[in-house]
Amino acid sequence: MDIAREVLNIVVVGHVDHGKSTVIGRLLYDTKSIPEGAIERVKRISKEKGKPFEYAYLLDAFEEEQKQGITIDTTRLQFRTDQRDYVIIDAPGHKEFLKNMISGAASAEAALLIIDANEGIQEQSKRHGYILSLLGIQKAYVLVNKMDLINYSEDGFNEIKQEMNEFLNSLHVYPLKYIPVSAFFGENLTSQSDKMPWYKGESLLKAIDLFEKEPGLEGRPLRFPIQDVYKFDNRRIIAGRIESGTLNVGDQILISPSKKTTRVKSIEYWAERDKTDSVSAGMSVGITVADEFFNQRGEFISYAHDEPLCSETFRANLFWMGKNSLLRNKEYKLKLATQEIECEVISITRVIDATTLETIEDAGQVNTNDVAEVIMRTKKKICFDEFKNNQNTGRFVVVDGYDVSGGGIVSGLVEAIQTVNKFAKSELQMVVNCFDEYYYVLSEDTVKKLQGRPHTFSVGDVIPVGGQTYAYPEDFNVLDLQAQLVAKVRKAKLHDIVKLSAYDYDSVPMIDPTGSFLRVASKGEYLTFANEVEALHGSEYTKLAVFANKWLDFSKYRRIQYLKNITLPELEYQI
C-alpha cells in the first residue's frame, strides 16, 4: 500500500445473508483488488461443486491466500480507487469487533450497513445500527441490497429507508446516504444502474469516495497531557506526549482542569539538531512555561478556544473483560491519558451481550464480555474528550485491583434532561426546531408537530439533514434572529456557529430555526432582509406575519405528511 495515499477504514455490517460478503467481493472485484487467478479458481471450485459462481466466495478464496501468507495481512481486506486506499475492517464476530474498536486495536471510520430489500429490516440490522451508535461511528451509508428481488421498486426502497432512518435517528445515527443496490447483479455498484432511473444519487464506489476523512491527529485541537514535571537547573520542565494538535513556542496555553493560562517559553531539546519551535501529535516533548505554577501529572495542556471537557461525571460505553463482574458503586481505578484516579460506576443504563448483541434487561452488573452504557464518576474532576472527536483522549481503561478489566470510550457529558434540540459551540447556543416532523392528523383535521429526540449537536457532529417530512441540502445556514447567531452546516455536519454580526453572506441556502427557507438569493437581497429585520424590533404579530410571508417559505424543504391518527405518544404540540 502506497504510504502517501489516504487510507480510509470501513466496516461492513448487516444481518446474516443480507449480502455483506457479496458486496465486499464485488468491491474487491470491481476495483481489481483480487489476487491473480482467484476468480478462475473460485469459478472452477464452484463448478466442481455444481454451484453457480458467487462473489461472496471470493472472500473465502482471499482468506485461503492469507492463510498461506501470500497477501499482506490476515485480518484486513484492501482495495483502492483512484482517490484513495480502503481497508475493510473485518468484523468476525461482534465481540471481537467491539473489543478491538474500544481498545483501539481496530478503528473503523465509516460503515456500510446492508439490508436485504426483500426481507427488510431484521433484529440484527437494528443491533448493528446500535453498534454504530455505541462506537460513535458517524459516517454511515445504508445499502438496500437485493433490489432485483423487489423489481427495483422505488416504493419498496423508500419504505425501508423511512423505517431504518426513524430507528437510526432515535440512536442519533444519521446515515449520510441510502443506496439501492443489487450486489449480485452489480447494479449501482460501479456505475449508476439503468434499472433504477428513479435513484438520482451516486453508485456505491462513487459514494464511498465521498466519505470525508477526518483530519489526522495533527490537525485536531491541541491535547498535551502532562506526564511529569521535572526540576532541572532550577527550571521546571513539563514532559509528555502530544496526543493531538500542534504546539509552538510563544503560544498562549490553558492548563486544565485547574484552568490556569500561561505561555510556552521553550521547547527543550537534547542535541542542537533537535532544536525546534513547533511540536505536534505523536511527539514526546519537554517544554517550559512562563509562569511557574504547580503543574502536575494528569493535567491537560490545550488552547483556551478549544479546551477539553472537564468533569467528574461522564457517559461512557464500556467493554468488560474482568474475571469479576463490574458492580455499581464499587471502587475501581480509571486510567485516561496520563490521569489515574479512583472511580465508580454510578449508573448502568443498558447492558448488551457482546456476542449476541441482545439487551440484558434490568442488569444490575456487567459480566465478562458484556458491553454497557454507563455513567462514571471519578473522585476528582478529570479532562477528556468525546471519543468521536479524539480517540486518544476519549478512551480509558478500568483497573480492578491489579487487573485491567475493562476498556471504555467517552460518549459525552451527563447533561441535564433536555427538551429541545440545540446547536452548540461553547457558549454560542441555538435552539433548533428544524428537525421536528409535521403531520396532518386526519382524525383530528389538524396539523401537529412531532418533536425530534432532544439532542445537542456540537461542531463536527453529523446532523439529520433528511427526516420523514423534511429534506435539507447538505450545505445550508440556520439563521437565528432571536439569538443573533448563524449556524453553518456543511456536508451534513455542524461546521461552525458565528454571531450574526460577523456573518458575511456566502450564497449558501438559509433556513430559520423552524426549517423555513429564507428567500434570499444574493448579497443585495440579504442586505435588504437584514435592514427589514432591524426595523422589525418590537413589532406586533401582524407586521411579523407580513415579514414572514415575504421572506420565509415553509414548504421549500418541508412537507406535511398525512397520518390517520396520532398513535405516536411523543406528539407534543398543536399548531
Q: Is 17 in the site for ligand GDP (CB under 6 A)?
A: yes
- Taking phi over 0 as left and psi of -120 to 50 as alpha, with beta for the rest, 138 belongs to alpha
| Grid cell digits, residue 183 | 450486489
* 125 touches ligand GDP by CB under 6 A: no
Are 279 and 246 in contact by the 8 Å Cβ rule? The answer is yes
| Alpha-carbon span 324 to 404, nearest angstrom | 11
Q: How far is CA 489 from the centre of its chain?
A: 15
Is-contact 416 496, C-beta < 8 A? no
From the list 11, 13, 19, 472, which residue makes contact with ligand GDP (rule: CB under 6 A)? 19
Pick the binder of ligand GDP from 183, 255, 287, 374 (CB under 6 A).
Answer: 183
Using CB under 6 A, which residues numbered 273 to 312 contact ligand GDP?
Answer: none
* DSSP bridge pairs for 8: 86
CB of 316 to ligand GDP, least distance (A): 31
Q: Are strands 493-499 and 485-490 parallel, antiparallel or unpaired?
A: antiparallel
Residues 36-65 contacting ligand GDP, CB under 6 A: 54, 56
Number of alpha carbons in the 13 Å side-chain half-sphere of residue 204: 26
Indicate which single residue of 124, 125, 182, 302 sits in contact with ligand GDP (rule: CB under 6 A).
182
With CA atoms as reference, report the closest residue to 370 among 316, 411, 319, 317. 319
Q: Nearer Cβ to ligand GDP, position 55 or 174?
A: 55
Of the candidates 8, 10, 21, 86, which one interacts with ligand GDP according to CB under 6 A?
21
By CB under 6 A, is residue 496 in contact with ligand GDP? no
Residue 26 or 177: the one with the smaller Cβ distance to ligand GDP is 26
Q: Could you say whether residue 502 binds ligand GDP (CB under 6 A)?
A: no
Cell numbers describing residue 148: 432485483
- Does the protein bind ligand GDP through residue 387 (CB under 6 A)? no
Q: What is the DSSP string of 472-503?
A: --SSEEEEETTTTEEEEEETTEEEEEEEGGG-
Least separation in angstroms between residue 19's CB and ligand GDP is 4
Minimum CB separation of residue 179 from ligand GDP in Å reads 12
Sole binder of ligand GDP in the list 86, 97, 184, 472 (CB under 6 A): 184
Q: Is residue 148 at the binding interface for ligand GDP, with CB under 6 A as the rule?
A: yes
Contact between 119 and ligand GDP per CB under 6 A: no
Cell of residue 316, nine digits? 461512557
Query: Please, are residues 162 and 198 in contact by the beta-carbon 8 Å criterion?
Result: no
Does 246 help bind ligand GDP (rule: CB under 6 A)?
no
Q: Which is nearer to ligand GDP, 182 or 317 (CB)?
A: 182
Residue 128 interacting with ligand GDP (CB under 6 A): no
- Cβ proximity to ligand GDP: between 183 and 326 the closer is 183
We find the least distance from the C-beta atom of residue 150 to ligand GDP, in angstroms, to be: 10
Nearer to ligand GDP, 16 or 575 (CB): 16
Specify the pairing of strand 110-116 against strand 85-89: unpaired
Strand residues in 271-385 grouped as ranges (E) = 278-280, 284-289, 300-302, 309-320, 326-327, 332-336, 339-353, 359-360, 365-366, 370-384
Select the span of 17-25, 203-211, 295-303, 543-551 touching ligand GDP (CB under 6 A): 17-25
- Within 10 A of 154 (CB to CB), how many other CB atoms are there? 14
Instruction: Pick between residue 164 and residue 374 the one whose CB is nearest to ligand GDP.
Output: 164
Q: Least distance in Å: CB of 67 to ligand GDP? A: 19
**In angstroms, what is the minimal distance from the CB of 181 to ligand GDP?**
7
Q: Which stretch binds ligand GDP (CB under 6 A): 178-186, 211-219, 277-285, 492-500?
A: 178-186
Residues that bind ligand GDP (rule: CB under 6 A) add up to a total of 17
Return the residue matching grid coordinates 383530528: 444
| Pairing of the two strands 339-353 and 370-384 | antiparallel
Q: Which residue of 14, 245, 257, 407 would you call a contact of ligand GDP, by CB under 6 A?
A: 14
C-alpha torsion 494→495→500→505, nearest 10: -120
Instruction: For the CB of residue 290, give the shortest distance to ligand GDP in the complex, in Å.
Output: 59
**Under the rule (CB under 6 A), what is the footprint of ligand GDP?**
14, 16-22, 54, 56, 145-146, 148-149, 182-184
